[in-house]
Structure 1
Amino acid sequence: MRVKPSELIDPFRPAEGAPPHALMAFIRWCISGAWGVIALAAIVSALAGLTETGTAWVLGKVIDTVVSHGREALFTAANAGIFALALAFFLLARPLAFGLSNLATAVVVAPAVSPLVMSRLHRWMLTQSVGFFDDDFAGRIAQKQAQTANAMTNFVVEAINVLAFALASLIGTFALVTAIDPWLALVFAVWFVFYIALIRWFMPRIRLRSKARAAARAVVTGQVVDTITNIRTVKLFAHAEREDAAAIDAIDTFRGRALEFGKLSASLRLSLMVLAGLLPLLLTGGALVAWSRGAASEGDIVAAGVVSIRVAQMTGWVSFALMGLYRDIGEIEDGMRTLTPDRRLPDAPDARPLALTGGGIRFDGVDFAYGKAVGGVTAISLDVAPGEKLGIVGPSGAGKSTLVALLLRLHDPEAGRILIDGQDLRGVTQDSLRRAIGMVTQETALFNRSARDNILYGNPDAGEDALHAAARKARADDFIAGLVDGSGRRGYEAHLGERGVKLSGGQRQRIALARAILKDAPILVLDEATSALDSEVEAEIQDTLYDVMQGKTVIAIAHRLSTIAHMDRIVVLSDGRIAEQGSHEALLAAGGLYARLWAHQSGGFLGEG
């Protein structure tokens, strides 16, 4: 089977292991599996670079032929060979070399490296714990992935187009001037030493200032995305001026970093222009001196002049490309600092899929305080029988949502363990654990995709009848039928906006309920699942939830105590500990914390006192 040039690199090949923290190791991780093709592209680029020296050599031979034969004997059969060589070189060899070089980078390498790096970074992000994302801007993380993939692509392409090309050109030039006159080669070598010294002084500084500029740009992006993401809050609190000031401050910092980079760049360009201007004088002048001594021909003078002008032009181009390479390295390092920290909760090496036999849950002496001295939950020991309906109540900060996060293994307990049907959660795969748990939260998470896609997220393999049945049970079918988005898509095909912003809070929660109903997991977690619904819709949904709960182990968190009064058992948390537990009637009769909360709730909601 023939392989197309564009398919020589698999753009979605997975990386092995976690991304390293060292620069070169990180680069190898990003483009592993593509090195052979990249090396081949570099060889083709080097051949194109050698044609630069070949140009000067061929022209020199033509001039020597013209001088040695004179006008009368110029166009004779004896000279046909040199002219044929020139025609073949300029019309075939040189265009072919450059064409293959451009094909290698523009078709084979560049279109594959960018998706290769982006897909690897994205897969790595998907393995990070939720804490990683809680500590950063979503927009900043996304921007760092795109920035790193783009910088890595530029780095690889420029390394092929510039470094391989230029290195071959310089080697060819040194060989050519050595053939003309060894002293000329010495002059070229001295000039080249000064050129390298100039590059070595400027490039590390370019790299540092590039990193600073990239970091400042990322702050601007994060600030702007954070404002746009929360634009409703900005407008509700009339804080447009405050957000503008924060953005202007970030932009001004970025401007300062960009000015520092620009000044250094301008200094480099001026220095290079002076140094590049010396080379034609040195090489052409040296060739003239050699000619005056009879050590060089007229063609050698032309060859030295042509190659010196080309190398002088190329040194400027190479230097600017190196500046770009250092800029790309700076941006890669900046992205690396954000993206490579390992905040995963990995599966154990011998982790097995969760084997459900009934859905019984045990919290066995669980402590978790998010790495702090206070907060979270302490000494939680709790058994939830298979099929039991458990309500959890308590003031804000009591630890209710922390228990749920630990059950879903978004965090690991700092002490104790959690078991489902006797299996420690640390010993089962996280995917199998989360597939076994359906969840509806107070802060409903929806994608900017169609209503159909959002509901099917609970079970992507569900059929059309199951989709509509779940929507009807969640009382979402009617309002979905009337949806129209900005692109004219209707009903289940209408897109819901970022985080479902085009829907009311109640509508978003009904979509989430439909998704959980469609998932039909044996364990159901409801974290304020009906808090955004009005009383009439909530009453309808409650009947549906009672049906959905049948045969499942249920944990329901609520501030509205009336919504969990029917549960088999209610656990009351206070300051991260279990204060009391029992049925609704038993807890009221005990006259403890639950009874006080029940008596003091306002409008059916649990107060903070």
Structure 2
Amino acid sequence: MTLPTLSSAQLYLRLLQIAKPWWKMFAASLVFTILVAATEPALPALMKPLLDGSFVERDPLLMKLIPVALVGLFLLRGLFTFGANYATSWLATRVVLELRNRMFAKLVTLPTRDFDNSPAGALIANIAYNVNSVTSAGTNVITVVVRDSFTILGLMGWLFYLNWQLTLITLVMAPAIAITVRYFTLRLRRMYRGAQEAMQDITHVLGETIEAHKVVKIFGGQDYEKRRFFDATNRLRRFDIKQTVASGLNVPLVQLLAAIALALIIYLATMQAAQDKTTVGGFVSFITAMLMLLAPIKRLTGVNEALQRGLAAAEVVFGLLDRPGEKDTGTRTLDRARGEVRYEHVSLRYEADGPLVLDDVNLAIQPGETVALVGKSGSGKTSLVNLLPRFYEPTTGRILIDGIDIAEIKLTDLRAQIALVSQDVVLFNDTVAANIAYGRLGQVSRAELIAAARAAHALEFIEQMPEGFDTLVGENGVKLSGGQRQRIAIARAILKNAPILILDEATSALDTESERHVQAALENLMQGRTTLVIAHRLSTIEGADRIVVMDQGRIIESGTHTNLLAAGGAYARLYRLQFEMGAVSA
């Protein structure tokens, strides 16, 4: 989905809205910033009485007061600067925290299609890295702009007070400076947008290589991955160089224009001093103020780089936040389903112009019935079960649970009726207990955990672990064997106690001993539940109440194992082929 591009003003207003709850701290940072700026003209203002009163007129009172005033001035500046820095930093970190939490909250509600279409590396980069740049636009930049703008106004006011004719010359350069800044602003935004996309590519390549490191090693893909990584990092380098060129030319050009104005003013001021039209103190005060203008002008010019980086990051952040979450049109609640499932004329396309993945499927499953889905890869088995928890929406047709269209059931209530155990077990880098009681850790007792683990044939190996249920399993259960991971997943499903169960190749890729334990655990899990089993190994589903054979998104056969074998159709051919292959491998 393409989202509308926001202007710089719209992005900034949205950032300010994020900071609105902490407006008091924001106001404090602005007040302290303005106070710091207000002290800037005081230094050149002190130069005039310092030189004229102390050195020329030799006023004893001024000779004592001026040093004290200088110390007091810098003491105040130090206090105001600390207050401004603290308030700005507090606000910046709070805005980042808020944005990260909002982005993550959006992430967990995105439709499954979004995860299919968005590389994980891009999503990680947005939340982990890009959001940091937003603070440059949201807080740091505005502080610099406010401080230096007030500083320039104050110094210009003092300059007008001292000599308005000379000060007017500085305004001649303003249009040229504005045009220069505008040109580089647009170029920098494009460069930062491209750099962020390059960073997402880097994160994506890193994530894939780390996750698939065994495949990389066994198939000799190191050189290929190094080339991919080099291409991604080199693309980022090129954008960085273009940023450097743009920002590197921006500041010197603006400073050159300011220096031309300064040189002209100094020349005219010396001419006036030679004609006794200004005092020594006035001349030094004027030049000091002029020189002090260079620093805030430089910062205001340089801040454009950080501003464009922040706004480019804000585009990405708000692009994620503006994505629509899962559609939850359901209004009906469902405490506990009986487990009747019915597919009525269900068809599915993943893309509007894509092929039919499911084609007019009709299937009725009774409460407590075990139905196995078999067929070649790509026949639509997984797509069919993925529609039940509404990971995807059917293109046409409807699905009912206990006679209720699942589109009318609240998503949380719908998914509370379903448990899933798949071949690709997902475990979190947490304790055994946290993985079994995932989503309900504070709601279940240790006795319930033990009962679930025992029913899943997992209690024995859990008790042998160093810290039992409190043992960390590592990333995706890397410290456990394949069979142990499966039994932890089964214990999770047993503890959930949902009336509908989906088993997606739950016993494949296991050794004989592990498969025996897992099969026994699954038998405990399936008791009294409506179960949909996706299976490639037909020997594991011979006892199913019904076997449904799928091909090219359609149901072509349905019946018991014995009846389908006797019919001599597609199931019989699949079974015979697997039997022959098993005999050969044996």
TM-score scaled to structure 2, two decimals?
Answer: 0.91
1:127 equivalent to 2:127? Answer: no
In the aligned structure 2, how far is the partner of 1:343 from the partner of 1:53? 51
SS of corresponding position for 1:581: strand
Q: How does 1:23-422 map to 2 (within 5 A)?
A: 23=7, 24-30=9-15, 32-35=17-20, 36-37=23-24, 38-67=26-55, 69-70=57-58, 74-76=59-61, 85-91=69-75, 93-106=76-89, 108-292=90-274, 296-334=278-316, 336=318, 339=320, 342=323, 344-348=325-329, 351-371=331-351, 372-422=353-403
Cα deviations by residue, 1:294-352 (Å, 9 ceiling, x for unpaired) = 55443322222222222112222332222122222233335555x3563533112x623
Aligned CA distance change for structure 1 residues 26 and 449 (closer, same or farther; 3 Å): farther
Aligned to 2:410: 429
Aligned CA distance change for structure 1 residues 502 and 417 (closer, same or farther; 3 Å): same
The one-letter amino acid paired with 1:432 is D
In the aligned structure 1, how far is the partner of 2:321 from the partner of 2:35? 37
Percent identity, aligned pairs only? 32
Deviation at 1:276, TM superposition (A): 4.4
Aligned to 2:525: 548
Deviation at 1:482, TM superposition (A): 4.8
The one-letter amino acid paired with 2:548 is V
Q: Is contact 2:170–2:262 with CA below 8 Å preserved after alignment?
A: no
Deviation at 1:604, TM superposition (A): 8.5
Aligned CA distance change for structure 1 residues 87 and 269 (closer, same or farther; 3 Å): closer
In the aligned structure 1, how far is the partner of 2:309 from the partner of 2:278? 43
> Which stretch of the first structure deviates more once superposed, 317-326 or 360-369?
317-326
In the aligned structure 2, how far is the partner of 1:53 from the partner of 1:605? 90
Deviation at 1:167, TM superposition (A): 0.9
Q: Is contact 1:562–1:604 with CA below 8 Å preserved after alignment?
A: no
Aligned to 1:524: 501
Cα deviations by residue, 1:356-414 (Å, 9 ceiling, x for unpaired) = 34121111111002124424211111111222222221111111100111001000000
Q: Is contact 1:19–1:29 with CA below 8 Å preserved after alignment?
A: no
Gaps of 5+ in 2: none
Q: Is contact 1:476–1:507 with CA below 8 Å preserved after alignment?
A: yes
Aligned CA distance change for structure 1 residues 531 and 423 (closer, same or farther; 3 Å): same
In the aligned structure 2, how far is the partner of 1:581 from the partner of 1:217? 51
Q: Is contact 2:419–2:493 with CA below 8 Å preserved after alignment?
A: yes
Cα deviations by residue, 1:511-548 (Å, 9 ceiling, x for unpaired) = 21121111111111111111133233323332332232
Q: Is contact 2:137–2:307 with CA below 8 Å preserved after alignment?
A: yes
Deviation at 1:19, TM superposition (A): 9.1
The one-letter amino acid paired with 1:22 is L
Cα deviations by residue, 1:191-242 (Å, 9 ceiling, x for unpaired) = 3333323222222222222222222222122212211121111112121111
Aligned CA distance change for structure 1 residues 291 and 502 (closer, same or farther; 3 Å): same
In the aligned structure 1, how far is the partner of 2:406 from the partner of 2:284? 78
Deviation at 1:258, TM superposition (A): 2.0
Deviation at 1:99, TM superposition (A): 2.2
In the aligned structure 2, how far is the partner of 1:544 from the partner of 1:292? 101
Aligned to 2:564: 587
In the aligned structure 1, how far is the partner of 2:260 from the partner of 2:201? 43
Aligned CA distance change for structure 1 residues 442 and 254 (closer, same or farther; 3 Å): same
Deviation at 1:571, TM superposition (A): 1.6
> Which stretch of the first structure deviates more once superposed, 278-287 or 462-471?
278-287
Q: Is contact 1:59–1:299 with CA below 8 Å preserved after alignment?
A: yes
The one-letter amino acid paired with 2:326 is L
The one-letter amino acid paired with 2:373 is I
TM-score scaled to structure 1, two decimals?
Answer: 0.87
In the aligned structure 2, how far is the partner of 1:112 from the partner of 1:525? 42
In the aligned structure 1, how far is the partner of 2:387 from the partner of 2:324? 16
Aligned to 2:553: 576
In the aligned structure 1, how far is the partner of 2:469 from the partner of 2:268? 79
Cα deviations by residue, 1:417-469 (Å, 9 ceiling, x for unpaired) = 11112222222221221122111011111222222222221632222122222
Q: Is contact 1:147–1:335 with CA below 8 Å preserved after alignment?
A: no
Aligned to 1:10: none
> Which stretch of the first structure deviates more once superposed, 411-420 or 18-27?
18-27
Aligned CA distance change for structure 1 residues 28 and 521 (closer, same or farther; 3 Å): farther
Aligned CA distance change for structure 1 residues 183 and 119 (closer, same or farther; 3 Å): same
Aligned to 1:4: none
Aligned CA distance change for structure 1 residues 114 and 494 (closer, same or farther; 3 Å): same
In the aligned structure 2, how far is the partner of 1:87 from the partner of 1:141? 52
Number of paired residues? 577
Aligned CA distance change for structure 1 residues 447 and 223 (closer, same or farther; 3 Å): same
The one-letter amino acid paired with 1:99 is F
In the aligned structure 2, how far is the partner of 1:96 from the partner of 1:290? 39
In the aligned structure 1, how far is the partner of 2:439 from the partner of 2:317? 33
Q: How does 1:477-488 map to 2 (within 5 A)?
A: 477-483=459-465
Deviation at 1:40, TM superposition (A): 4.4
> Which stretch of the first structure deviates more once superposed, 233-242 or 444-453?
444-453
Aligned to 1:500: 477
The one-letter amino acid paired with 1:578 is I
Aligned to 1:13: none
Aligned CA distance change for structure 1 residues 362 and 293 (closer, same or farther; 3 Å): farther
The one-letter amino acid paired with 1:400 is K
Aligned CA distance change for structure 1 residues 286 and 605 (closer, same or farther; 3 Å): farther
Q: Is contact 1:386–1:553 with CA below 8 Å preserved after alignment?
A: yes
In the aligned structure 2, how far is the partner of 1:357 from the partner of 1:146? 40
The one-letter amino acid paired with 1:101 is A
In the aligned structure 2, how far is the partner of 1:364 from the partner of 1:517? 29
The one-letter amino acid paired with 1:440 is V
In the aligned structure 2, how far is the partner of 1:384 from the partner of 1:30? 51
Q: Is contact 2:106–2:325 with CA below 8 Å preserved after alignment?
A: no
RMSD: 2.8
SS of corresponding position for 2:41: helix
Aligned CA distance change for structure 1 residues 138 and 482 (closer, same or farther; 3 Å): farther
